[in-house]
Chain A
C-alpha cells in the first residue's frame, strides 16, 4: 500500500469520530456541561496554549513519564538479564515478581503516599512500576529463546559468561526488549494518570481532576485528547526506533 493511502486510511476513523462528536454536541441535543463540543475543546486548547498552562502541564507529564520509564528500563534490563541467565535466580525472584505484577496500579497509591509523601517521588515510582513489568517479562522470554546454536558458537570460541551475555545473548534478545519497551512506555502513560491523581498541581492527570472538580467537560476532554496524542506519539517513536535497530531480523515486513 502506498504511504499517502495508508495515512488516509489511518485518519479515516479519527475524523469520523470527531464528526460524530461534533454532530451529537451541535444538533444531537447534548448539553455542553455533559459533553463539550470539539469547538469548545479547541478553544480551551488555544487558551491553555496562550496562557502557558498547556506547556506547563505537558512538560510535567512528559518529565514524569520519561523518568519513570527510564528507571523501569534500567532496573528491568538488569533484573531480566540476571533472571534470564540464571535458573536459580529465576526460581528465587520470578514468583515474587509475578505476584507483584498482578497488583492493580491503584492499589499502590495509598502505600506510595504513606511511604514517599506527595512529591514527585511517589508519582515516578508508580509509573516505573507500571512500565517495568512488560519490559521485564519480554526480555526474560527473549533471553530464554535465544538460539542455543549461537550460544554454542560462543562456547567454541571460548567466551566467558559475561562475554556470552554481552556479545550474543543480549543482542539476540534485543527485539524482545524493544517490544517490551514499547508496551512499557504505553503502560507508563496509563500509570501517569493514576500517579497524577495523587495530590498533584500540574500535569495531564491534574487537568482531569481539576476539570471534574469545576465541572468543565472541555478541560477533561482536552486532557483526554492530549493523553491519546501523547500515547500515540511515543508509541510511534518507539516503533521507529524498533524498526531501525532490528533491520537484521528476517521476519515479514511489518
Chain B
C-alpha cells in the first residue's frame, strides 16, 4: 500500500455545473494535506466524496484505512452528554473503553457530563473531534473544522489538532479557506480553482518550518495568496527554495 487515499478520474456534476472532471489526488500515509480554495470551489465536495457522503459520477476513490470525518459544525446529538456523544460512535467494547482516553486527549474530561447546549463553540468542536477519534481512524478528514471559531481559539485548537494528528500518527486531509491554518498544519498544500476544479498551485511546506505559528513562510504565503487571487500573482515556478510541486 503506497498511498492512504487514491482519487483517480473523479467526475462530479451538480445539475449543469461540473465541479470535478478527470480529477486525481494521491495522499501519502502520515501526510497532512491541506486543500485551499474560495467558497464553492469544490473542496468540500472532494472531502465528501472521499467520505462516501457524495456519490461521484465517475472515477474511483480508494481509502486504504478507516476514515473519520469532522464537520464544520460540531453536530453533536443535543440530547446526549459530551461523554455519551463521544460513545455514540463506538462500535465495540474496545472503542467504548477509549471514550475516557479521547476525552483526555482533547482536554474535555472535566466537561464529560455537560449537555451540548452548555458548551462553548470550542468545547463543542473538541467533543466532535473526540467522537471521531474514538474509532481510532487512521485517516482524518477535516471539513473546515475550525472556521466557526474566533481567532485566538482557532490558534489554540490548531495546536491541539497538530498534536493529535502527530500522536495518533494519522493521515489528514484538511479543507480550509484559511491560508495561515493551511501553512501551520499541512505538509503539502493544494489550491483548487475553476469549474471543473483543477489545482492552480501545489506546494510543500519545508519540513523545518512546519507546525510553527512563527516560522517564516512569506514566500509560501505570497504564492498561496496569489493562487487564490487575493494579492499578487501565482508564481510560475520555484524560486528561492519555494517548493512548488505543480502546476
Which label, helix, strand, loop or mixed, suits the secondary structure of the B interface?
A: loop
Q: Are the CB atoms of A156 and B53 closer together than 8 Å?
A: yes
Q: Does B23 contact A (CB under 8 A)?
A: no
Confirm or deny: A149 has a beta carbon within 8 angstroms of a beta carbon on chain B.
yes
Cβ 8 A contact of B79, one of A153, A155, A171: A171
Q: Which stretch from B11-19, B69-77, B203-211 is at the chain A interface?
A: B69-77
Chain A residues whose C-beta falls within 8 Å of the C-beta of B77 in the assembled complex? 150, 153, 168, 171-172
Contact of A248 with B117 in the complex, beta carbons under 8 Å: yes
- Report yes or no: B79 in contact with A248, Cβ–Cβ below 8 A: yes
Inter-subunit contact B53/A153 (CB<8 Å): no
**Which residues of A154-168 are within 8 A (CB) of B?**
155-157, 167-168
How many chain-B residues does the 8 Å CB contact rule pick out? 16
Residue with the greatest number of chain A CB neighbours at <10 A, chosen from B53, B79, B88: B79
> Closest Cβ of chain B: how far from A158's Cβ, in Å?
9
**Which parts of B60-104 form the interface with A (CB within 8 Å)?**
69, 71, 73, 75, 77-80, 88-89
Task: State how many angstroms separate the Cβ of A209 from the closest Cβ of chain B.
Answer: 46
Kindly state whether residue A249 has any CB partner on chain B within 8 Å: yes
B51 within 8 A of A: yes
Interfacial chain B residues near A171, Cβ < 8 Å: 77, 79
Q: Which residues of A contact B (CB under 8 A)?
A: 149-150, 152-153, 155-157, 167-168, 171-172, 174, 247-250
CB pairs A–B below 8 angstroms (14 shown): A149-B73, A150-B75, A152-B75, A156-B51, A156-B69, A157-B88, A171-B77, A172-B77, A174-B79, A248-B80, A248-B115, A248-B117, A249-B117, A250-B117
**Known interface pairs A150-B75, A174-B79, A248-B115; 8 further A-B residue pairs with C-beta atoms within 8 A, sorted by A's residue number:** A149-B71, A150-B77, A153-B71, A153-B75, A156-B52, A156-B53, A157-B88, A248-B116
